[in-house]
Amino acid sequence: MSAEQSVSAVRPLAETKQEVLEDSQAPTRWEVLRRSGTFWAGGGIVGFWALAALLGPRLVPWDPYATDLLHELAPPSAAHWFGTDQLGRDIFSRVIVGSRDILTIAPLATLLGTFAGATLGLAGGYLGGLFDIILGRIIEVLVSLPLIIVALLVLVALGPSSVTVVIVIGLVFAPVIARTVRAAVLGERALDYVAAAELRGENALAIMFVEILPNVMGPVLVETTARLGYAIFTVASLSFLGFGIQPPSPDWGLTIAENYGVIAGGYWWAVAFDAAATASLVVGVNLLADGLYGALAA
Partner 1 sequence: MSASLSVEGLEVTYRARGRDQRVLRDVSFTIPAGGAYGLVGESGSGKSTLALAALDVLPRAGQITAGRVRIGGEDLRGLDGAALRRLRARQVSMVFQDPARALNPTLTIGRQMAEVYEVLGLPRAEGETRAASMLGRVRIAAPQRVMASYPHQLSGGQQQRVLIAMALAKEPELLVLDEPTTGLDATVEAEVLDLITSLRDELGTALFLISHNLRIVGRMCERVGVLYAGTLVEDGPSETLFANPRHPYTRGLLRCLPEAGRRKENGRLETIPGFPPPPDRRIVGCVFAERCLLADAHCRAVAPPPRDFGGHVALCHHAERVPDLARATADAWTAPPVPPAHLPPLLETRDLSKTYRDGGVAVRALSDVSLALGSAETLGLVGESGSGKTTLARLLVGLAEPDAGGAIRLDGAPLEARARGRSVAARKALQIVFQNPDSALNRAHTVRHLIGRVLGRLEGLTGKTRERRLTELLAAVRLEKRHLGQRPRQLSGGLKQRVAIARAFAGDPRIVICDEPTSALDVSVQAAILNLLVDLQHERRASYVFISHDLGVVRYLADRIAVLYLGRLMEYGPTEEIFRGPHHPYTEALLSAVPTLGAGRERIRLEGEIPSPVAPPPGCVFHTRCPRKLGAVCEREEPKLDLSGEHAIRCHIPRAALPRSRDGQMRAPLARNDVPTL
- Least separation in angstroms between residue 205's CB and partner 1 is 14
Using the contact rule CB under 8 A, the part of the chain among 11-19, 53-61, 104-112, 143-151 near partner 1 is: 11-19
Q: Is 205 in the site for partner 1 (CB under 8 A)?
A: no
Q: Is 47 in the site for partner 1 (CB under 8 A)?
A: no
Write a three-state SS string for the chain.
CCHHHHHHHHCHHHHHHHHHHHCCCCCCHHHHHHCCHHHHHHHHHHHHHHHHHHHHHHHCCCCCCCCCHHHCCCCCCCCCCCCECCCCCEHHHHHHHCHHHHHHHHHHHHHHHHHHHHHHHHHHHHHCHHHHHHHHHHHHHHHHCCHHHHHHHHHHHHCCCHHHHHHHHHHHHHHHHHHHHHHHHHHHHCCHHHHHHHHCCCCHHHHHHHHHHHHHHHHHHHHHHHHHHHHHHHHHHHHHHCCCCCCCCCCHHHHHHHHHHHHHHCCCHHHHHHHHHHHHHHHHHHHHHHHHHHHHHC
- In the bound state with partner 1, the residue whose beta carbon lies nearer, of 9 and 54, is 9
Query: Which member of 12, 37, 146, 265 binds partner 1 (CB under 8 A)?
Result: 12
Q: Is 25 in the site for partner 1 (CB under 8 A)?
A: yes
Question: Binding to partner 1 (CB under 8 A): which residues in 80-109?
Answer: none
Question: Binding to partner 1 (CB under 8 A): which residues in 185-204?
Answer: 191-193, 195-202
- Least separation in angstroms between residue 17's CB and partner 1 is 5
Using the contact rule CB under 8 A, the part of the chain among 18-26, 100-108, 229-237, 283-291 near partner 1 is: 18-26
Q: How many residues bind partner 1 (CB under 8 A)?
A: 37
Site string for partner 1, 208-227 (x = CB under 8 A): ---x--xx------------
- Least separation in angstroms between residue 150's CB and partner 1 is 35
Residues that bind partner 1 (CB under 8 A): 2-5, 7-9, 11-12, 14-15, 17-27, 31, 191-193, 195-202, 211, 214-215
